[in-house]
Amino acid sequence: MEDRKRHMIERHLKGRDITDARVLAAMAKVPRERFVPEHLRDEAYGDYPLPIGLGQTISQPYIVAYMSQALALRPDEKVLEIGTGSGYQAAILGELAGEVYSVELVCELQQRAAGLLAELKYTNIHTRCADGYAGWAGHAPFDAILLTAAPPEIPQALIDQLAPGGRLLAPVGVALQRLVMLRKDPDGTIRTEITHDVRFVPMVRGALVPGQ
């Protein structure tokens, strides 16, 4: 696994445009194989997404690293993640930020991720099963917000929970998805940048999904 992890970092991260030393260190530290189903662990460090059950996926390592690098997190910042999934992206954020609050609509996934993150001793990561469209108002404002599922448009509740000076990064769209970065200026003005074409699972709205 360590050889495969080194290959991932050298070829798929450093070999492209991942240059942030803290992001590279986080990707080297977090055991990605723990966040995928046991029968797929040999593929954990391949640069492609993998299914984690219940119709959800773990994103490819490059996308996880790219989005983490784009947020340019500082160790004292508070981050909101929408879409806990396997918990892997939350673990990377937990290495980079001060506190991470992660929301997952599928309760079985949230419980599974919470157990694994606790086992790996991430005391700065907090999860809950809830509708991500509402964010986590009780802990707002957030210095950064990351969406790991794609809404048709960015929910206003999440923009409202972004602190002045904060960044929000999300895949947005239905048939065609683009990676969108929102920056909130100190006066509340929103600036938008659009970068990569991406493909994420849709961001679902509505009742909680307990799982099977």
CATH number of the domain that 14 lies in?
Answer: 3.40.50.150
pLDDT digits (tens, 9 = 90+) for 74-131: 999 999 999 999 999 999 999 999 999 999 999 999 999 999 999 999 999 999 999 9
Structural domain range at position 22: 2-198
Q: What does DSSP assign to residue 170?
A: E
Active-site residue, selected from the candidate residues 59, 68, 86, 102: 59
pLDDT digits (tens, 9 = 90+) for 124-170: 999 999 999 999 999 999 999 999 999 999 999 999 999 999 999 99
Does the residue 153 lie in any domain? Answer: yes
Q: What is the tally of structural domains in the chain?
A: 1
Does the residue 71 lie in any domain? Answer: yes
Residue 86 known to be catalytic: no
How far is it, in rounded angstroms, from Cα 52 to Cα 33? 12
The amino acid sitting at 102 is S
Does the residue 29 lie in any domain? Answer: yes
pLDDT of residue 212: 39
% of the chain surpassing 90 pLDDT: 89
Does the residue 139 lie in any domain? Answer: yes
Look up the pTM and report it: 0.94
How far is it, in rounded angstroms, from Cα 151 to Cα 24? 28
- For 88, the enclosing helix (H) or strand (E) is helix 88-96
The amino acid sitting at 22 is R
Does the residue 92 lie in any domain? Answer: yes
Does the residue 41 lie in any domain? Answer: yes
Residue 208 has pLDDT above 80, yes or no: no
Q: What does DSSP assign to residue 59?
A: P
**Pairing relationship of beta strands 142-147 and 190-198 according to DSSP bridges:** unpaired
Does the residue 211 lie in any domain? Answer: no
How far is it, in rounded angstroms, from Cα 80 to Cα 169? 11
Q: Kindly state the tokens that stand for 152.
A: 């048709």
